[in-house]
Amino acid sequence: MYKPTIGLEIHVQLMTKTKIFCSCSTEFASEPNTHVCPVCIGLPGALPVLNEKAVEYGVKLGIALNAYINKFSSFYRKNYFYPDLPKGYQITQYVIPIAKGGYLEVGGSGAQKKKIRIERAHIEEDSGKSIHAGNITESEFSFIDFNRSGIPLIEIVTLPDIETPDEAYDFLILLRSIVRYIGVSSGDMEKGAMRCDVNISVSKDETMGTKVEIKNLNSFRSVKRALEYEIERQIGALKKGKRIVQETRHFDEKEDTTKSMRTKEESNDYRYFPEPDLPPLVLSDEFIENIKNTIPELPNKKEERFIKEFGISNDYARTIAYHPKLVEYFESIVNFTGRAKAVANFIMVDISAYLNETKKEIDEIDFTKEKFKELLDLIDNKTISRNTAKEVINESLRTGKTPSEIVSKKGRTQIADETSIKEFVIDVLKENDAQVNQYLSGKTKVMAYLTGQVMKKSKGKANPEIINKVLYNELENLKK
Amino acid sequence: MEITELTVKEIVEKIKKKEIGVKETVLAYLKNIEDKDNNIKAFLSINNEEALIKAEELDKENEKNGQIFGIPVAIKDNINVYGMETTAGSKILRGYISPYDATVVKKIKEQNGIVIGKTNCDEFAMGSSTENSAFFNTKNPINTDYVPGGSSGGSAASVAANEAAAAFGSDTGGSIREPAGFCGIVGLKPTYGRVSRYGLIAFGSSLDVIGPLAKNVEDAAILTNVIAGFDRKDETTANLPVENYTDFLKRGVKGKKLGVIKEINDFKIQDEVSITLKEAINKLEVQGCEIEEVSIPHLKYALPTYYLIAPSEASSNLSRFDGVRYGLQGCGDNLRDFYEETRTKGFGREVKRRILIGTFALSEGYFDEYYLKASKVRRLIAMDFEKVFEKVDALILPTTATTAFKFNEKKNPLEMYMSDIFTIPMNLAGIPAISIPFGKDNKGLPIGIQIAGKWFEEGEIFQISYALEQLKES
């Protein structure tokens, strides 16, 4: 049996208002090179000034990853030439990162969870973006947009604890959820706010196989597909007695395959040395403690609690817990109504369907906690059935009307009042002597027919459960 | 007396008393530049139009505010001035117009100083004679057969030739003090972190400091007042209060303890320089200075240490000159060729040499042996100074072992590097040091005496050097 060994290197763009070393905006701009200044395009004489917010976010993420925060860390220069790297070096943490150690638990709930250890997380700056005319190897010219240059990044490096593509996927969606929860990043892989490179090797025994790096993974799906393909490719090659070449491969999204990048693989010497323009980064206990206090209950903890405390299904619990806006909505409704399971069901089935259809976000809808409570109350006091409730919630989402408005306008209010139902029942019993006698002689199956007659009389509005109860009582009374 | 022969202090006073106008002052300097600079070649670019417009504006002002109101100053070409060509003496930046003012320039303008031009320098401040400028040599105004020193040779020459009332330069290993010494003027290298480096084209980031070059100590103190202080744009500036340096000048030297470094005798010093130093020491002693011999045991390692640290940082600092965004642009079929052609054409020999040294010192496998070791030795040198300053207030030593040399005299780079043996240790330690002219050799070339002080105690060295200046035989 071949066993894959997988490690991830993830870059997370931090959502600071300004760049890491200058005061340029980090906002997305459609016009290239509009959020630039002498610092972030590397003009002669410009100097970096560290953005404290980036440090705060770095610490926050480190704590959320259960890592140790280094009170003393420093910046280095990583030297290499590339057109979108304006200074010819990237300012990054190297020997001492801001966060060290740490882990995330992924996979099933409780005991089935698996710990993926994190080696380190460090702060660095993003480069500009090269835009090639056509294919990179054949293009006649390239453009560079420096709007991205100097956006703060956290690079997270895992230990090779991941053994399956699913674990990698689970790790990434949990990480995305965490960065969103603590508000340090949008976590959007499609928009490049989270970028992932993977290292993968396969081996039959305890020795490590040859490591292959895969780049150009622009979605969670791509990570999973690339790993699936690569595992198959490597195992296939080894089975045929071939050797795996240590290389960087490129994921081809269209073909779902990985391809050798055929670069002149000169071993890069980045000539790291301490950044003389920035003094060491020294954090006080108070600074770290203050940040610690701002970290909310994180998605994996919430997920577990929802399952244990509320009895919500694993799937629903994860989907709600991992989505910061959804969970906020869910918890506010649960706090107000005191009902969790029913609320989870409505959110996951009816509201989700509406959101998917309209491409809306949960915080864009107007189904307030008051409306939710009304709906649940209408079901509880048997004014409406669960089926009707689905229609009501749907209409309320579309029109903004309250559930009771909808129910009364449609004349859908159920007759749940026993006295009024009793009147229908007595009428029906009088009109159906034959069936009553059948019942009294022991053929209780006619109950169904009689119920139907009562329903007919109430024009379908009587609550069936109450009909049953009243009808049964009346029939039993006749026995006496 | 001609306006251009006056000191900064005198000109400001005359302008404020309305004895002379700003335009008149600027015109006088422009005239001097026109008359002399064809020969001296201190300037790479002259800001005549802008300077005159600014002068007219200032003449209209009723309130003549600013410590250097109306003073035409020259700026070394590795310091960014908005709207002016800023080349750092390199072909790779020829035609590059800076879109921003260095913090120092901003401060000069805030005090109503006028940038009259940009001065020649060794390419990227790498050199000790200004012969490494990609454009031309600058001559020493004292004797045009001789180099003005470097790398701030243009700045020093402009002041010595009365082409500017004062100038600013940068000092990474002696680049203000050595040319000041060679040209017979005053030059201060402030404490590292005292003056903002924002806008100074980096050479050795942990060593570079901007400082003034002036006719006398008082002017240097005024100019330091203008540029010193914390800058939010430079994280290596110290957030410490800045004293008014002119307050220190006339306090005398009675009771001051002055250290003479024993180890300087391990180096070959020109006789006249040694004699002049002794003379200076004797005169100070007469004034009540206490002289003590002190030891900087690691002094002999300063040069090799410097020639690892500075080129290492430079190799990285100069990476941005890749032809992609500005400056000289090569061609080539691929990226590598493009870089190669840009940098081969753009950089001169000395710059390439230092990039190579630095790249090597930082390479995998050599980093510990060279860069890291040099960093440790650097710390030891700084500790030597710390120890010495427990005993003495300041140190006195020659600025250079010899007076100015002739063009093409130092063909071997190592010989050239030796010009900075007495100035480099201060950059490694980060301490302030001033060079003041004190006497001449038998060829009439000026001799520079250096006073080095404690971190952030520029006031102290102004005090001592001012006293020494008064003892000069005119």
ipTM of the complex: 0.96
Q: Cβ contact (<8 Å) for B201 and A45?
A: yes
Q: Does residue A440 belong to the interface with chain B, where contact is any CB pair within 8 Å?
A: no
Half-sphere exposure (Cβ direction) of B321: Cα atoms closer than 13 Å: 32
Q: Going residue by residue through chain B (474 aa), what tens digit of pLDDT does each one get?
A: 899 999 999 999 999 999 999 999 999 999 999 999 999 999 999 999 999 999 999 999 999 999 999 999 999 999 999 999 999 999 999 999 999 999 999 999 999 999 999 999 999 999 999 999 999 999 999 999 999 999 999 999 999 999 999 999 999 999 999 999 999 999 999 999 999 999 999 999 999 999 999 999 999 999 999 999 999 999 999 999 999 999 999 999 999 999 999 999 999 999 999 999 999 999 999 999 999 999 999 999 999 999 999 999 999 999 999 999 999 999 888 889 999 999 999 999 999 999 999 999 999 999 999 999 999 999 999 999 999 999 999 999 999 999 999 999 998 998 899 989 999 999 999 999 999 999 999 999 999 999 999 999 999 999 999 999 999 875
User: What does the alpha-carbon distance between residue A442 and residue A457 come to, in Å, rounded to a whole number?
Assistant: 25
pLDDT score recorded for residue A55: 98
Alpha-carbon distance A279 to nearest alpha carbon in chain B (angstroms): 7
pLDDT score recorded for residue B267: 95
Q: Does residue A83 belong to the interface with chain B, where contact is any CB pair within 8 Å?
A: yes
Which stretch of A130-134, A224-228, B134-138, B183-187 has the lowest confidence by average pLDDT? A130-134
Of residues A382 and A266, more confidently modeled: A382
Which stretch of A109-123, A160-174, A377-391 has the lowest confidence by average pLDDT? A377-391
Choosing among B100, B195, B200, B235, which should be mutated to test the A contact, i.e. which has the most A CBs within 10 A?
A: B235
Q: Which domains does chain A have, with CATH numbers?
A: 3-288 (no CATH), 299-409 (no CATH), 418-479 (1.10.10.410)
Q: Does residue A273 belong to the interface with chain B, where contact is any CB pair within 8 Å?
A: yes
Q: Cβ contact (<8 Å) for B324 and A41?
A: no
Q: Does residue A141 belong to the interface with chain B, where contact is any CB pair within 8 Å?
A: no
Q: Cβ contact (<8 Å) for B319 and A269?
A: no
Secondary structure of chain A in HEC code, one letter for each residue? CCEEEEEEEEEEECCCCECCCCCCECCCCCCCCCCCCCCCCCCCCCCCCCCHHHHHHHHHHHHHCCCEECCEECEEEEECCCCCCCCCEEEEECCCCCEECCEEEECCCHHHCEEEEEEEEEEEECCCEEEECCCCCCCCCEEEECCCCCCEEEEEEECCCECCHHHHHHHHHHHHHHHHHCCCCCCCCCCCCEEEEEEEEEECCCCCCCCEEEEEECCHHHHHHHHHHHHHHHHHHHHCCCCCCCEEEEEECCCCEEEECCCCCCCCCCCCEECCCCCCEECCHHHHHHHHCCCCCCHHHHHHHHHHHHCCCHHHHHHHHHCHHHHHHHHHHHHHHCCCHHHHHHHHHHHHHHHHHHCCCHHHCCCCHHHHHHHHHHHHCCCCCHHHHHHHHHHHHHHCCCHHHHHHHCCCCCECCHHHHHHHHHHHHHHCHHHHHHHHCCCHHHHHHHHHHHHHHCCCCECHHHHHHHHHHHHHHHHC
pLDDT score recorded for residue A267: 64
User: Average pLDDT of A136-148?
Assistant: 83
User: What does the alpha-carbon distance between residue B162 and residue B33 come to, in Å, rounded to a whole number?
Assistant: 8
Q: Does residue A144 belong to the interface with chain B, where contact is any CB pair within 8 Å?
A: yes
pTM given for the model: 0.90
Do residues A78 and A90 touch, judged by C-beta distance below 8 A? yes
Of residues A400 and A53, more confidently modeled: A53
Residue A385 has pLDDT above 80, yes or no: no
Q: Which one, of B151, B157, B162, B160, lies nearest residue B78 by Cα?
A: B151
| Tokens at B443, concatenated | 């060829």
Q: Between chain A and chain B, how many beta carbons pairs sit less than 8 Å apart?
A: 101
Choosing among A22, A33, A37, A47, which should be mutated to test the B contact, i.e. which has the most B CBs within 10 A?
A: A47
Residue in A86, A87, A277 nearest the CB of B235: A277
Smallest CA–CA distance from B238 into chain A, residue: A279
User: What does the alpha-carbon distance between residue A199 and residue A197 come to, in Å, rounded to a whole number?
Assistant: 7
> Cα angle vertex A387, ends A381, A390, to 5°?
95
User: Average pLDDT of A163-173?
Assistant: 95
Which residues, at least 6 apart from B241, have a Cβ–Cβ distance to it below 8 Å? Answer: none
User: What does the alpha-carbon distance between residue A239 and residue A257 come to, in Å, rounded to a whole number?
Assistant: 19
Helices of type H across B165-234? 177-183, 217-227
Q: Does residue A193 belong to the interface with chain B, where contact is any CB pair within 8 Å?
A: no
pLDDT score recorded for residue A201: 95
Mean residue pLDDT of chain A comes to: 91
pLDDT score recorded for residue A266: 57
- Tell me the per-residue pLDDT of A403-447, one tens digit each, with 9 for 90 and over: 988 887 665 566 666 777 888 888 898 898 888 888 888 888 888
Q: Cβ contact (<8 Å) for A277 and B371?
A: no
Half-sphere exposure (Cβ direction) of B202: Cα atoms closer than 13 Å: 32
Which residues, at least 6 apart from A4, have a Cβ–Cβ distance to it below 8 Å? Answer: A163, A164, A200, A201, A202, A227, A231, A234
pLDDT classification of A207: cutoffs 50, 70, 90? confident
Residues of A in contact with B93 (CB under 8 A): 44
pLDDT score recorded for residue A478: 83
Q: How many CB atoms lie within 10 A of CB A253?
A: 15
pLDDT score recorded for residue B243: 96
Catalytic residues of B: 76, 151, 175
Q: Which helix (H) or strand (E) holds B282?
A: helix B271-286
pLDDT score recorded for residue A110: 57
Q: Which CATH class is domain B1-474?
A: alpha beta
Alpha-carbon distance B236 to nearest alpha carbon in chain A (angstroms): 6
User: What does the alpha-carbon distance between residue B78 and residue B119 come to, in Å, rounded to a whole number?
Assistant: 9
Smallest CA–CA distance from B338 into chain A, residue: A83
Residue in A47, A269, A278 nearest the CB of B233: A47
pLDDT score recorded for residue A441: 87
Interface of B with A (CB under 8 A): 78-80, 86, 88, 93, 96, 98-100, 102, 197-202, 204-206, 232-236, 312-313, 315-316, 318-322, 324-326, 335, 339, 359, 362-364, 367, 371
Backbone angles phi, psi at A372, to 5 degrees: -60, -40
Residue in B79, B198, B321 nearest the CB of A47: B198
- How is chain B split into domains, by residue range? 1-474
DSSP helix/strand/coil, B74:
strand
Q: Cβ contact (<8 Å) for B100 and A50?
A: no
Q: Cβ contact (<8 Å) for B320 and A42?
A: yes
